[in-house]
Amino acid sequence: MNLKSAKTQLHQFFSQYKRLPSYGEMCQLFNLASKKACFDWAAKLIKKDFLAKDEAGKLIPGDKFFSIPLLGSIKAGIPDTPYQDFVESVVLDKYLVKNLSQAYALRVSGDSMIEAGIFESDLVVIEKGRPAKNGDIVVAYIDNQFTLKYLKKQNQTVYLQAANPKYKDIYPKDELTIFGVVVSVIRQYH
């Protein structure tokens, strides 16, 4: 057994059961005869940051458990000779949001942000507590309603702007509260 196949089997187990295997289950999964061999494999995977242990010593996903390979870049303009070489790994949860304890997601409804690349049914990842700057896409509570828009500041005037010309700018009549800043957009194609 090599590290790549061990990782593949652990990913498959996690996908099916939504947890990591016990050491006994890992022996069966890796076709190993002794728990000592499983402990050794776990130690290798912990050293590679693929697995970790919680306070009770139970195996949990490590920082690199949810990573995928980043193979390089691809042209979105004029076609070019493909370049594929393993460059690094991208850890999806850290790539999508830096401060997980301050993050939440919302499913988008409507078309007011389409020119920002945010479409109906996309998920937006929001980081609350992050200071909103002029031009940030924010979750705003304006005059007793929530919306997703650009935050605009001009002199002393603060307002919300859509990324679709068929929508007018929204100026608060009573109140405007920012509930977070969009840090990522997730779209599934299938």
Q: Examine the residue annotation and report whether 149 is marked as an active-site residue of this protein.
A: yes
Q: How far apart are CA 172 and CA 25, in angstroms?
A: 58
Per DSSP (E only), the strands in 30-188 are 51-53, 59-61, 67-70, 88-91, 103-107, 123-127, 137-142, 145-154, 157-161, 176-186
* Residue of 18, 48, 112, 166 marked active site: 112
Q: Are 39 and 28 in contact (CB under 8 A)?
A: no
* Exposed/middle/buried for residue 115 (C-beta within 10 Å: 0-12, 13-18, 19+): exposed
* Residue of 15, 44, 53, 149 marked active site: 149
**Residues assigned a catalytic role:** 112, 149
